[in-house]
Amino acid sequence: MAYTQETVRGIVEKQRAYFNTGATLDISFRIEQLKKLRQAVIDHRESLEKALWEDLRKSQTEAYLCDLGPVIVEVDEMLKGLRKWARPERHFSGLMCFPSTKTTVYKMPYGVSLLISPFNFPILLTLGVLAASISGGNTAVLKTSSKSAESTKALKRMIAEVYPEEYVTVIDGGHDVADMCLSERFDKIFYTGSPKVAKHVLEMASKNLTSVALELGGETGNWCIVRKDANLKDAARKIAFFKLCNAGQICINVNQIAVAEEAAPEFLAELKSEFIRQIGEKAEENPDYPKLITEAVYDKCERLTAEYKDRVFFGGTGSRGENKFSPTVIYPVGIDEDIVKHELFCPLLPVVPFKDASVNELLDVIAGREHPLSMYVFTSDKKWAKKVMSTQQFGGGCINEVCIHMMVKGVPFNGTGHSGMGAYHGEWGFREFTHPQTVLTGKTHMNLPLREHPYSGKAGKIKMKLLKLFER
């Protein structure tokens, strides 16, 4: 379908009219829609997995582990908790508001939401956010990525079977169609992607003062710190697994490693060994290894590998025909080199050596750059690790682990600054898509003249004493 500004506007107007009927306010209605979403993922599992294979060469196991399974888990958490989350909160109004004693906070949906999803997890990062929007009582326009075209087609078919267009619909197309959407007045926008595009989204949203949530990869990438007292074999095993996942095209993936130079030779040997054990000498020849989304990403990998050819410790090979590039470890890399100042979003893995005794200087450098979406530290010094995690600014992270912090139920996920704003998953997703609306119920009798004039003289003095008393 070829979209025009008029067709996009028509879709938004239909959704606004539907929202204004009040149908989505009912919690039972929302639960029913979440159940439909869950069942749709199960019913369309084969076509969704096939689409992920076509777009990214994700194996069936990786597709379910990283895209489909987490959607089901997310919906299940919402089905279990939604009635409790959506329940109006009752508060005592306080003596300052006497004789009014009752205040209620209603969790109100924003209205018509625009969800712009990326190519790297085209199912999870579309349907996971949709679940949050539905739980909050909104309608949703899903602008999916043109880069993951087969996944977009599969989603479009699935959503059209499950929901009417005036409630949830998928809009496909490139940046021009995304701008058509952003030109319309939405009540909530959730964008997942790069900081550069996020600035454009914010600029467009500002014209209508639309509430925006952003889930971004981070301008300068996610750090993983490996200290000399770490279990190096364990660290290498986990990092290798994560870098292989989706060929490094993950917003929370390790962008660069800082390893204590005292442990660097042993760690690098373990890392190489783990890559070979898990995927083979040449990952691009393994059918389970995902491909890069575009030739441009492959070109970037090839260009940077050539630039650092004298420092390629492992990998550096690829298959242009398959658009696959092997995990490539580059060592040593200086902390001020350009390759560790940008999010790579690919299988390249620069390794920066540092003196273990100077780890705090390393942290100062990291803190001076844009806030990453994730941070990972490997060490046996739990006290130091906890101090780092409680003083550095980043979206979320792990101690002696990678990535699975985002799989924990009941906790928020997102970044800060250049790695995002807002938060979602479970109840946090419900909160992101609702506005807490405070309503005080007044009384028509026993009203005191405390707030009324006069404010001077004897009456003013009495009122001042009462005000100070009530403030306690």
Distance CA 286, CA 74 (A): 31
How do 223-226 and 256-260 pair as beta strands?
Answer: parallel
Which class for 151: exposed (0-12), middle (13-18), buried (19 or more C-beta within 10 A)?
Answer: buried
First to last CA, the chain: 63
Which helix (DSSP H) or strand (DSSP E) does residue 328 occupy? Answer: strand 328-330
264-279 and 232-244 are packed helices; what angle lies between their axes, rounded to 10 degrees?
A: 50
Which helix (DSSP H) or strand (DSSP E) does residue 90 occupy? Answer: strand 89-92
The CA R_g of the chain, rounded to the nearest whole Å, is: 26
Distance CA 126, CA 134 (A): 12
Contact 219, 368 (CB under 8 A): no
DSSP 431: H
Among 404, 376, 411, which residue's Cα sits nearest to residue 392? Answer: 376
Whether 215 is catalytic: yes
Which helix (DSSP H) or strand (DSSP E) does residue 240 occupy? Answer: helix 232-244
Distance CA 404, CA 192 (A): 19
Which of these is catalytic: 251, 346, 398, 403?
251
268 Cβ contact partners less than 8 Å away, ≥ 6 residues apart: 259, 313, 314, 329, 331, 351
Task: Write out the DSSP string of 31-47.
Answer: HHHHHHHHHHHHHTHHH
Among 137, 211, 126, 125, which residue's Cα sits nearest to residue 169? Answer: 126
Which of these is catalytic: 74, 215, 343, 427?
215
Which class for 462: exposed (0-12), middle (13-18), buried (19 or more C-beta within 10 A)?
Answer: exposed
Distance CA 260, CA 377 (A): 12
Catalytic site positions: 215, 251
